[in-house]
Chains A and B, each alone.
Chain A
């Protein structure tokens, strides 16, 4: 790997601006014990899911008629798709607000977002009781257009299967280009201009549709009415769910970029990360302003500071969002990798709490029944997450996902050939990569 001279910023932090394009990981073995563990967990979860398809829901989950939605819906879909909103947040920032710097990290956001959505949809598919009736989605005359559930059940698969898939198509075609024969290459050369032609039009849909369904996820809970604690139940919930998705998407993209750069010994790009951190801080402030304004408007501020269970939960959640919002205002924090990593993780957790609490902890129906996910339910939920994680690890190894220096990728060389890479790199790379890891963070 070509190691570039690190440039030092004014305070002596070792950071360099060298993210130029997506570069595949070509160092180290692909099948690490960690990846095997993920694949095993994913196989276990999916195996249970297949069994669940041939069995009623009862034995597989602890859901009941009072808590009719378990963690598959409330966590895998309603909470984790917020983390998968990176393509939405970064895409709007890059293409609509012309933040050119962010183009280089779009691929990381796109792949992680696609996997969050895809695994969420798998979770949904095994969660619904009568999936065979879903063909109604293709019959508009059956649609109940006022239902937020309809909006989600149509827009989420549409977004994942059409728009996100289209956005990650260049990644896949690029790999095909480097590994295919000349005839296929010629074909791809003809396809590429078509993709470029329709791209600016398709991405309009790719940003409008998640705006719709991410807010509809909050809109779902409006119908639950008085069952949800008034600290959360509010007419602005759709808007807050959307903003939470935006800052979770930004925060998770920062977090993921830093983690994978640490893992694969990539250099960080201070300018891009600072840009993302800036946006993250700003959206957190927007979220908190609307959240507090809404509490004042609905006269719930006293309840918010009553210091009972729900109030403490609210304060904890808000503190998790306020801390990164404040901390990332300071340039010193934005440019200190360790602090940035921690703060982006805290922001993600805060946003996840906001999206999870009203569906579960603050969901207080009249009948006194408890719900805690059963073991198969937890294993399946973990399996879906492991499936996404394993797919991400494979994606960064076989596709040009992670940002890096353009010079690190020899375009003449076929970078993804599994046997050649395994033979060449598995021995030699271990030592320099650990050295570079220390240098990167």
Chain B
């Protein structure tokens, strides 16, 4: 019995088979490489802060609500004052907005006399969702862990606003050349010159302090240990939230009452990319699908062409593609 396979067909079959097998194996090897080492994984479920990671620790029980940090932030970042509510007299933002990167908000229970201040700004996540989503890398996590925005790469898609669990990035809706406004840890303004951020420098009561993340985490845990029942749930918000953030909170009232979302401990970037990063590794998944499709399309195409010639001979009408 002879094998009726021309040399050309044999080559084709070899290339086709080889391509399919390679593309089937690639994701497996890619997965093995990232899974075994652990270090090379781009979005681990629980990212570990690098040794030089900086942080802010905000203690709501110490904050007096003097808002000294707000003009300091505006001055350092060259932001205009938001005087909409005060009738043009003083800076009075309603929340983080296109003119406000940092704000002190007041939580007050309408029934009891419970109240607390909370400082809002970018949380500088260890694995930021905004950086994961930003299509052209306009938002990046810089050294020391500051998350900054680059105007020349941003297309204004506002995916960062959808992705951020803390609703921090703000878009300039009233600007023809809109920018994304968010706290950048004073990276270009002060951090580069070895100065601490404007808000921590301005705080008179040391309610918000600046330092290495490991040091501040230890400091926060010391405070909890010193006064066991003072702090809510005896824990630091930001230690594990969304994989960990570089702004840490201590509070005597529930974090959710302060407007800090209840989040899991897994990094959002990990949740969003754990499957796709395997499928799209070296485009192996699409290549595999293309290989399989190509095989069947080729086969059906040849059948179709045979039928077409037959049809055109029979009817005289040209076949449409």
Q: Which of A131, A148, A203 contacts B156 (CB 8 A)?
A: A131
Say whether B158 contacts A203, CB under 8 Å: no
CB-defined contacts of A238 to chain B, threshold 8 Å: 275-276
Q: B174 at interface (Cβ–Cβ under 8 A)?
A: yes
Q: B303 at interface (Cβ–Cβ under 8 A)?
A: yes
Q: A371 at interface (Cβ–Cβ under 8 A)?
A: no
Q: A2 at interface (Cβ–Cβ under 8 A)?
A: no
CB-defined contacts of A366 to chain B, threshold 8 Å: 167, 259, 261
Which residues in window 99-154 of A have CB below 8 A to B?
A: 100, 103, 107, 128-131, 133-134, 136-137, 142-150, 153
CB-defined contacts of B50 to chain A, threshold 8 Å: none
Q: A194 at interface (Cβ–Cβ under 8 A)?
A: no
Q: A56 at interface (Cβ–Cβ under 8 A)?
A: yes
Given the known inter-chain contacts A170-B320, A225-B165, please indicate yes or no for A148 contacting B272, CB distance below 8 A: yes
Q: B298 at interface (Cβ–Cβ under 8 A)?
A: yes
Place the interface of chain B in its size category.
35 or more
Q: With the chains together, A143 CA to B162 CA distance in Å? A: 20
Say whether B133 contacts A65, CB under 8 Å: no
Given the known inter-chain contacts A199-B321, A224-B162, please indicate yes or no for A57 contacting B276, CB distance below 8 A: no
CB-defined contacts of A200 to chain B, threshold 8 Å: 297-298, 301
Q: Which of B56-64, B70-78, B82-90, B285-293 contacts A (4 or more CB under 8 A)?
A: B285-293
Given the known inter-chain contacts A68-B158, A200-B297, please indicate yes or no for A21 contacting B275, CB distance below 8 A: no
CB-defined contacts of A227 to chain B, threshold 8 Å: 162, 165
Q: Which of A130, A147, A406 contacts B134 (CB 8 A)?
A: A147
In the complex, per-residue mask of A192-216: 1 if CB is within 8 Å of any chain B CB, else 0: 0001100111011101100110001
CB-defined contacts of A312 to chain B, threshold 8 Å: none
Q: B18 at interface (Cβ–Cβ under 8 A)?
A: no
Q: Which of B30-38, B147-155, B208-216, B225-233 contacts A (4 or more CB under 8 A)?
A: B147-155
Q: With the chains together, A207 CA to B286 CA distance in Å? A: 10
Given the known inter-chain contacts A204-B297, A235-B271, please indicate yes or no for A144 contacting B286, CB distance below 8 A: no
Q: Which of B98, B135, B290 has the most CB of A within 10 A?
A: B135
Say whether A225 contacts B129, CB under 8 Å: yes
In the complex, per-residue mask of B19-45: 1 if CB is within 8 Å of any chain A CB, else 0: 000000000000000000000001100
Q: B268 at interface (Cβ–Cβ under 8 A)?
A: yes
Which residues in window 141-184 of B have CB below 8 A to A?
A: 152-159, 161-163, 165, 167, 169-178
CB-defined contacts of B264 to chain A, threshold 8 Å: 226
Q: With the chains together, A195 CA to B321 CA distance in Å? A: 10
Say whether B286 contacts A68, CB under 8 Å: no
Q: B277 at interface (Cβ–Cβ under 8 A)?
A: yes
Q: B136 at interface (Cβ–Cβ under 8 A)?
A: yes
Q: Which of A68, A98, A195, A400 contacts B300 (CB 8 A)?
A: A98
Say whether B159 contacts A149, CB under 8 Å: yes
Minimum CB–CB distance for A136 against chain B, Å: 4
Say whether A130 contacts B162, CB under 8 Å: no
In the complex, per-residue mask of A387-419: 1 if CB is within 8 Å of any chain B CB, else 0: 000000000000010000010000100000000
Say whether B178 contacts A130, CB under 8 Å: yes
CB-defined contacts of B280 to chain A, threshold 8 Å: 145
Q: With the chains together, A216 CA to B161 CA distance in Å? A: 18
Q: Which of A64, A129, A411 has the most CB of B within 10 A?
A: A129
Q: Which of B43, B133, B172, B271 contacts A149 (CB 8 A)?
A: B133
Say whether A146 contacts B277, CB under 8 Å: yes
CB-defined contacts of A34 to chain B, threshold 8 Å: none
Say whether A133 contacts B153, CB under 8 Å: yes
Given the known inter-chain contacts A149-B157, A226-B263, please indicate yes or no for A136 contacting B162, CB distance below 8 A: no
- Name the residue on B nearest A150 (C-beta): B135
Q: B81 at interface (Cβ–Cβ under 8 A)?
A: no
Say whether A406 contacts B273, CB under 8 Å: no
Say whether B156 contacts A130, CB under 8 Å: yes
Q: With the chains together, A182 CA to B180 CA distance in Å? A: 58
Given the known inter-chain contacts A65-B167, A129-B158, A174-B320, please indicate yes or no for A204 contacting B152, CB distance below 8 A: no
Say whether B286 contacts A223, CB under 8 Å: no
Q: B121 at interface (Cβ–Cβ under 8 A)?
A: no
Q: Which of A133, A150, A205, A222 contacts B154 (CB 8 A)?
A: A133
Q: With the chains together, A199 CA to B297 CA distance in Å? A: 10
Say whether A219 contacts B276, CB under 8 Å: yes
Q: Which of A137, A205, A223, A365 contacts B132 (CB 8 A)?
A: A223
Q: With the chains together, A201 CA to B290 CA distance in Å? A: 10
Q: A84 at interface (Cβ–Cβ under 8 A)?
A: no
Q: B137 at interface (Cβ–Cβ under 8 A)?
A: yes
Q: B97 at interface (Cβ–Cβ under 8 A)?
A: yes
Say whether A204 contacts B290, CB under 8 Å: yes
Q: A58 at interface (Cβ–Cβ under 8 A)?
A: yes
Say whether A207 contacts B155, CB under 8 Å: no
Q: Which of B271, B293, B300 contacts A208 (CB 8 A)?
A: B293
Q: With the chains together, A95 CA to B259 CA distance in Å? A: 53
In the complex, per-residue mask of A302-337: 1 if CB is within 8 Å of any chain B CB, else 0: 000000000000000000000000000000000000
Q: With the chains together, A170 CA to B167 CA distance in Å? A: 48
Minimum CB–CB distance for B234 against chain A, Å: 23
Minimum CB–CB distance for B27 against chain A, Å: 15
- Name the residue on B nearest A205 (C-beta): B290
Q: With the chains together, A169 CA to B307 CA distance in Å? A: 22
Say whether A107 contacts B320, CB under 8 Å: yes
Q: With the chains together, A92 CA to B159 CA distance in Å? A: 31
Q: B65 at interface (Cβ–Cβ under 8 A)?
A: no
Q: With the chains together, A136 CA to B137 CA distance in Å? A: 10
CB-defined contacts of B276 to chain A, threshold 8 Å: 146, 148, 216, 219, 238
Say whether B136 contacts A133, CB under 8 Å: yes
Which residues in window 51-68 of A have CB below 8 A to B?
A: 54-58, 63-66, 68
Say whether A129 contacts B156, CB under 8 Å: yes
Say whether B155 contacts A130, CB under 8 Å: yes
Say whether A411 contacts B317, CB under 8 Å: yes
Q: Which of A103, A149, A400, A406 has the most CB of B within 10 A?
A: A149
In the complex, per-residue mask of B222-247: 1 if CB is within 8 Å of any chain A CB, else 0: 00000000000000000000100000
Chosen A-B contacts, 11 in total, with CB atoms closer than 8 Å, are A65-B96, A65-B169, A95-B296, A153-B155, A200-B301, A201-B294, A204-B297, A208-B289, A220-B162, A223-B269, A235-B271
A-B complex: 8 closest residue pairs judged by Cβ atoms? A129-B156, A68-B161, A58-B173, A130-B156, A222-B272, A150-B135, A223-B163, A68-B158
| Other contacts beyond A144-B134, A147-B134, A148-B276: 6, CB < 8 A | A58-B174, A65-B96, A129-B158, A204-B297, A216-B276, A365-B167
